[in-house]
């Protein structure tokens, strides 16, 4: 009986995935070839003929390796979308929906009080509500089996987006506002990034951290699993 | 003899259809497709396994190691709910295609 695992390993090098995943693929393909070989032997073929038939059944090894790699890449892409980009998009939309709602409320209810600055009226409640949004984003990422880092990255998408936007404005200021001093540009950039990227980012991360803590507590309170 | 390019397009439907009857391992999937198609659809490893992995990643199939009748561990595939849902529109799509081909190329009289 030929060593089918060795045969597959020999022909199918540079497989994608972890060593355990690679071993699993090799084992599965080897078992397929072995079954095929045994079936053709049972049909009366000689060892040599059965071996040749099983080898032909494998097809083109390079095509097989490429096909497995593409399938793996498709999976990685889908996982990234589910674990990072979708929760990130939800966090982004929810963050700015909450901000818009608060701004509208601030205009409606506080317009008659000139002593209260509008910005503070909606900005502070917004920061206080952002952990809730961050918790939702973190939950969505973890539910899609995202790691802790992926969950934090997902909830940071709005902060990273707005930070990039301020950086773009800063660079644009060199083109459209050459008379503005460098100190003014830098302080505007710093204020923009601190107020609209760092503080909201920290609030969103706090929400993701609380969600993660809650999840850990839920898992530990369930105790060890029995099979 | 059906050309490889044509066979590839049929593989998803063929796999889902044979798995509708119950979980099977890769070799058995290939064997049953060949048997049910009277030898017309015969897939090599290079055609079958990348597709099985892709369908598994899409959530149409679920694979797990099971011990077979001969005591050997086999990676068996079974249809998931999502896979079952895919089967009906896929069948309808192929039916429409054959109907259209019959009208255009008179395949049934060829």
Quick one: three-class SS letters along chain B?
Answer: CCCHHHHHHHHHHHHHHHHCCCCEEHHHHHHHHHHHCCCCCCCCHHHHHHHHHHHHHCCCEEEEEEECCCCCEEEEEEECHHHHHHHHHHHHHHHHHHHHHHHHHCHHHC
B46–A contact, CB cutoff 8 A: yes
- Whether A29 sits inside 8 A of B25 (CB atoms) is no
pLDDT at A208: 94
**C-alpha–C-alpha distance, residues B8 and A180, integer Å:** 63
Q: Tell me if the pTM is above 0.90.
A: no
**Residue A167 structure tokens:** 């950086």
Interface of B with A in 1-40 (CB under 8 A): 25-27, 30-31
pLDDT at A225: 45
- Whether A70 sits inside 8 A of B44 (CB atoms) is no
Residues contacting residue B48 through CB under 8 Å, at least 6 positions apart = B11, B15, B26, B29, B30
Strands B73-79 and B61-67 turn out to be: antiparallel
Here the ipTM equals 0.84
B27 min Cα distance to partner chain A (Å): 5
- Whether A57 sits inside 8 A of B53 (CB atoms) is no
Residues from A in contact with B at Cβ < 8 Å: 24-25, 27-29, 31-33, 35-36, 39, 56-61, 63-64, 66-68, 70-72, 74-75, 78
Query: Which of A8, A22, A30, A35 to mutate against chain B (most B CBs within 10 Å)?
Result: A35
Adjacency order of strands within the sheet including B24-25: B24-25, B73-79, B61-67
- Whether B53 sits inside 8 A of A71 (CB atoms) is yes
Q: Tens digits of per-residue pLDDT, A145-190?
A: 888 899 999 999 999 999 999 999 999 988 888 888 889 889 989 9
Query: Which of B11, B33, B43, B49 to mutate against chain A (most A CBs within 10 Å)?
Result: B49
Q: Tens digits of per-residue pLDDT, A61-108?
A: 998 999 998 888 887 788 889 899 999 999 999 999 999 998 888 766
- Whether B75 sits inside 8 A of A70 (CB atoms) is no
B77–A contact, CB cutoff 8 A: no
Query: Which residues in chain B have their CB less than 8 angstroms from residue A145's CB?
Result: none
Length of chain A: 227
**Residue B8 structure tokens:** 């590839």
Looking at chain A, the number of H-run helices and the number of E-run strands are: 10, 0
Nearest CA-CA partner of A26 in A65, A83, A53, A72: A65
Q: Tens digits of per-residue pLDDT, B65-92?
A: 988 777 888 899 999 998 998 888 889 8
Query: Which of B29, B50, B56, B59 to mutate against chain A (most A CBs within 10 Å)?
Result: B50
Nearest CA-CA partner of A152 in A164, A162, A139, A163: A139
When CB atoms are compared, the residue of A24, A59, A78 closest to B44 is: A59
Answer positive or negative: Cα dihedral of A105, A111, A114, A117: positive
Architecture category of domain B4-109 in CATH: Orthogonal Bundle (1.10)
Minimum Cα–Cα distance from B52: chain A residue: A71
**Residue A134 structure tokens:** 């961050």
Buried b or exposed e, range A111-134, using 16+ CB within 10 angstroms: eeeeeeeeeebbbebbbebbbbbb
Query: Which residues in chain A have their CB less than 8 angstroms from residue B26's CB?
Result: 28-29, 31-32
**Residue B10 structure tokens:** 């049929």
Nearest CA-CA partner of B27 in A146, A169, A76, A29: A29
DSSP state for residue A3 in the 8-state scheme: -
Which SS3 state, helix, strand or coil, does residue A112 take? coil
Nearest CA-CA partner of A173 in A198, A192, A199, A196: A192
Portion of chain A with pLDDT greater than 70, in percent: 90
- Whether A63 sits inside 8 A of B75 (CB atoms) is no
pLDDT at A214: 84
Burial zone of B88 (CB within 10 Å; 0-12 exposed, 13-18 middle, 19+ buried)? exposed
pLDDT at A118: 66
Query: Which of B33, B45, B59 to mutate against chain A (most A CBs within 10 Å)?
Result: B45
Residues contacting residue A166 through CB under 8 Å, at least 6 positions apart = A189, A192, A193, A196, A197
- The full set of domain ranges for chain B reads 4-109
């Amino acid at each position: 009986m030929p060593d089918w695992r060795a045969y597959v390993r020999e022909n199918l090098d540079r497989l994608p995935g972890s060593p355990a995943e690679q071993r699993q693929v090799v084992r599965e393909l080897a078992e397929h070839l072995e079954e095929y070989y045994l079936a053709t032997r049972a049909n009366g073929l000689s060892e040599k003929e059965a071996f040749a038939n099983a080898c032909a059944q494998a097809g083109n090894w390079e095509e097989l390796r490429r096909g497995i790699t593409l399938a793996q890449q498709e999976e990685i892409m889908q996982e990234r979308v589910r674990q990072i980009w979708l929760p990130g998009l939800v966090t982004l939309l929810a963050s700015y929906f909450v901000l818009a709602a608060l701004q509208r409320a601030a205009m409606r209810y506080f317009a008659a009080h000139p002593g209260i600055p509008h910005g503070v009226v909606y900005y502070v409640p917004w920061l206080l509500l952002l952990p809730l949004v961050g918790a939702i984003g973190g939950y969505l990422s973890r539910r899609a089996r995202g790691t802790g880092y992926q969950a934090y990255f997902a909830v940071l998408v709005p902060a990273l987006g707005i930070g990039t936007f301020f950086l773009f404005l800063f660079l644009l200021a060199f083109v459209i506002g050459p008379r503005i001093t460098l100190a003014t540009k830098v302080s505007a950039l710093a204020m923009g990034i601190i107020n609209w990227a760092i503080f909201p980012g920290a609030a969103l991360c706090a929400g993701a951290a609380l969600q993660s803590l809650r999840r850990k507590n839920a898992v530990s309170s369930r105790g060890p699993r029995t099979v | 003899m059906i050309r490889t390019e044509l066979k590839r397009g049929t593989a998803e439907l063929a796999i889902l259809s044979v798995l509708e009857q119950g979980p099977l391992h890769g070799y058995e999937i290939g064997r049953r497709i060949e048997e049910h198609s009277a030898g017309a659809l015969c897939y090599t490893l290079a055609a079958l396994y990348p597709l099985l992995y892709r369908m598994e990643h899409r959530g149409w199939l679920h694979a797990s190691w099971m011990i077979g009748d001969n005591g050997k561990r086999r990676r068996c595939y079974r249809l998931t709910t999502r896979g079952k849902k895919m089967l009906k529109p896929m069948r309808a799509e192929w039916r429409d295609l054959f109907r259209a081909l019959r009208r255009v190329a008179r395949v049934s009289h060829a």
